[in-house]
Amino acid sequence: MIRRPMIEVRKLAKHFGRFPVLRSLDLTIRKGEFVALFGRNGAGKTTFLRILAGLSRASSGTMSIQLPDEKRFRFARGAIGYLSHNTSLYTDLTALENLGFYSRLMDAPSDEASLIRKIELVGLAGREREPVRNYSRGMQQRLAIARAFLHDPEILLLDEPFTGLDQGGSEFLKWFLAQAHSEGKTCIVAIHDASLGYEMADRLVVIERGVVALDVPKTSLTLKEFEERYLAVTQTRMRSSVGPNAGNLL
Amino acid sequence: MTHKYRSRLDTALEIILVPGMGLALYMAFIVAPREASMGDLQRIFYFHVAAAIAGMTAFAVNFAASLMYVIRKNRWWDHAALAAAEAGVVFMVMVLITGPIWAKPAWFIWWTWSPRLTSSLVLCLLYVAYLLIRNYIGDPDRKALVSAVFGIIAFVDAPLVWFSIRWWRDHHPGPMLETGGLDPSMRPALYICMAVFQVLMFYLLRRRFRLEGMRDQVESLYRQADLAS
Amino acid sequence: MKRIWAVFRKDLLVELRTKDTLNSMLFFGVVVLVVFNFAMESLRDSVRTAVPGVLWVAFAFSGTLGLNRMFASEKENGCLQGLLMIPVDRGIIYFGKMLAATVFMLIAEVIIFVCSLVFFNLTVWNEIPYLALVFLIGTLGFTAVGTLLSAIAVNTRLREVLLPLLLFPVILPVLVNAVEATGIILNGPDYGALRLPLTVMTVFTVVFGTVSYLLFEHVLED
């Protein structure tokens, strides 16, 4: 099978006024790859994902997303599922109403049976008619997962998805992502936990101060080796940055 | 892209403006005849009308530049739009100040809610709002885009404002050029004032545009310095 | 179309649950009426001539409150982010929101109007269909541009405070014509004279509906 690049990013830069977040980011991701995106806080992971999702405009550089023909939308974002720090849920509505609303927007099946199935899948069976306001943080995150991917997207973007999830939730998310991966979906997960990312992904990318600092396939090194290199990349940068420009790290 | 602080065109404009302003004053106060009923008071009219037209021109420039920014997303257009909005507000304020100065002796009131006056005031408020938005958006790209959107809205709104308040009773002297009400002997003064004010507006717009370009350049220099570190 | 309806239905549903927006709109509208009643003590005999202005000021103020909530509520949990991922033109969010804002405003207007009938001792029966028409078109004009400006305001540092500053200068043509039209109806109906203000308001609505729809995508940000 020929794996053509699904996502191609060239010299991507984003700055908020004087502060550069992404400087010149190059990355090519092929269909079906599972990429774990590492980096310290403020390294530019979130900004990168937001630009990929089409929520934010790059200051310069190019980005192209190639979709398989049968999945082609007028806007590429129709084939992208993005789970951010926000749950994007209406707390006054029930789980069912939330998913129903988003399904109608995203052209996903919006009949009650399939919605309930999705809610059961994330482990919230029996609570689908309760307002989301009553849910705990972890339960909201579970529902947010169901919401973000209810249109069965080709590309899954997740920004620190394990935040707030309990053991069961984490297991579910890992299973869910493995499932998507095995179906040939492209996954990009921003994560700070090295071992968790290593466990799930087949490609490890470290973003540091707005550029790709490390990009290796998992098969090429063990977890221990990766952790060492991850640390090395971020620490040398850290030292050099504690100079007159340290303030820009913020 | 580097911005020179000033160019030859700026010098040329200054060379035109200095004697031009003198000429405008001379024409309005010495050459133009004394108006029969209002006397010397009428002479403010030359500046009032010239400023109004210069202001409108600036707002039209803002509209064009805003539209171009939305299409092209090139910062150049945003700088032009900002410069035009500021220049336009300056001239509109001039209109709103000279108006009452004239109205008090002529109509015995400072202000009347006539269509022309009200429209000028609303127009001025619209562009003050435009400048206000810019103050409260941090990201320069978004600032440029959102203010461009508002610039378009404001300019589309202007004719509607004008037509909506038109049927209110109007005290304001009608447009004398169209009706031929202005004595031919007064016309040279008006035309020269109008021309000089247009040049002045263009000059201010250019300077402001440059300033904004340089600010942008400073920002990108900071970025490069940061990138190199 | 389906998506416009979905956005509208969702806003209505949230409102039915919480009633936050409508309650504050209604309360504020009535407060404005009461305040004006005191401000116009001296006009008590010719109150009919002042009512249209008072009414539309109340509508506009309460409408501003409503418009502010339209996008502020979307930002609370990053819901706008979810909306922005729709696979079609984002302009449809504008229509859904505008529809919801219009319905909220109309509900508030009816109740504020009934209160004003009581407060100002007015009797209207035959005029109601005409008033309804004026309210509808005026409100559409108000929300046509108000929805866009609300999306702008909520993404600035001043947030909700900025909306009235942007909205009122732009909305002036609608207010002038709506007051004029309401005045014509309440003071010796000469329905032929309604045509002009109604036309101007319709033109305003169509022009700004189109412009806002085209520009809406640019002002959205989660």
List chain B domain ranges. 8-222
Of residues B138, B226, B229, nearest to A16 (C-beta): B138
Tell me the pLDDT of chain A averaged across its residues.
86
Whether residues A90 and C77 touch (CB distance < 8 A) is answered with: yes
Q: What is the DSSP letter of A163?
A: T
Weakly modelled stretches of chain C, pLDDT under 70: 43-45, 222
pLDDT at residue B228 in the model = 67
Three-state SS across chain B? CCCCCCCHHHHHHHHHHHHHHHHHHHHHHHHCCCECCCEHHHHHHHHHHHHHHHHHHHHHHHHHHHHHHHHHCCHHHHHHHHHHHHHHHHHHHHHHHHHHHHHHHHHCCCCCCCHHHHHHHHHHHHHHHHHHHHHCCCCHHHHHHHHHHHHHHHHHHHHHHHHHCCCCCCCCCCCHHHHCCCCHHHHHHHHHHHHHHHHHHHHHHHHHHHHHHHHHHHHHHHHHHHHHC
In tens, the pLDDT along B24-74 reads: 988 888 888 887 777 788 888 899 999 999 999 999 999 999 999 999 988
pLDDT at residue B227 in the model = 67
Q: CATH top-level class for B8-222?
A: mainly alpha
pLDDT class of A243 with cuts at 50, 70, 90: very low
pLDDT at residue B40 in the model = 80
- Segment A58-77 shows an average pLDDT of 79
Distance (Å, rounded) from C-alpha C19 to C-alpha C80?
20
Which value, to the nearest 10 degrees, does the dihedral of the CA atoms of residues A160, A165, A167, A173 take?
-60
- Segment B130-148 shows an average pLDDT of 90
C156 touching B (Cβ < 8 Å):
yes
Q: What is the DSSP letter of A128?
A: T
In tens, the pLDDT along A168-199 reads: 889 999 999 999 999 999 999 999 888 899 99
Beta bridge partners of A34: A187
pLDDT at residue B175 in the model = 54
Beta bridge partners of A13: A60
Sign of the CA dihedral running C193, C196, C199, C201 = negative
A239 touching B (Cβ < 8 Å):
no
pLDDT class of A248 with cuts at 50, 70, 90: very low
The alpha-carbon radius of gyration of chain C (Å, integer) is: 18
In tens, the pLDDT along C133-144 reads: 999 999 999 999
- Whose CA is closest to A101, among C110, B104, C93? C93
With contacts defined as CB-CB under 8 Å, which chain C residues touch A148?
82
Q: Which residue matches tokens 């394990």?
A: A162
Q: Which residue matches tokens 């990053």?
A: C78
pLDDT > 70 in chain A, percent: 90
Q: Give the three-state DSSP class for A206.
A: strand
What range does the domain containing C34 cover? Answer: 2-219
pLDDT at residue B1 in the model = 46
Tell me the one-letter amino acid at B154: A
pLDDT at residue A138 in the model = 87
The CB density around residue B33, as the number of other CB atoms within 10 Å, is 10
In tens, the pLDDT along B158-217 reads: 988 888 776 654 445 555 444 456 778 888 889 999 999 999 999 999 999 999 999 888
Residue B128 burial class via C-beta count within 10 angstroms: exposed 0-12, middle 13-18, buried 19 and up = middle
Distance (Å, rounded) from C-alpha C138 to C-alpha A42?
48
pLDDT at residue B108 in the model = 79
C193 touching B (Cβ < 8 Å):
no
Q: Give the three-state DSSP class for A205.
A: strand
- Segment B142-147 shows an average pLDDT of 92
Tell me the one-letter amino acid at C192: G
Of residues B141, B219, B229, nearest to A245 (C-beta): B229
pLDDT at residue B111 in the model = 78
Sheet bearing A19-30, strands edge to edge: A19-30, A5-16, A60-65
A237 touching B (Cβ < 8 Å):
no
DSSP letters spanning A42-90: TSSHHHHHHHHHTSS--SEEEEEE---GGG--SSGGGGEEEE-SS----
B43/B84: higher pLDDT: B84
Q: Is the pLDDT of residue A57 over 90?
A: no
Beta bridge partners of B39: B35
Q: What is the DSSP letter of A30?
A: E
Of all residues in chain B, the one with the smallest CA distance to C166 is: B129
Distance (Å, rounded) from C-alpha B194 to C-alpha B200?
10
Q: What is the DSSP letter of A131?
A: B
In tens, the pLDDT along A71-102 reads: 666 788 888 999 998 889 999 999 999 999 99
- Segment B117-145 shows an average pLDDT of 90
Q: Is the pLDDT of residue A159 over 90?
A: yes
Number of structural domains found in chain C: 1
The alpha-carbon radius of gyration of chain B (Å, integer) is: 20
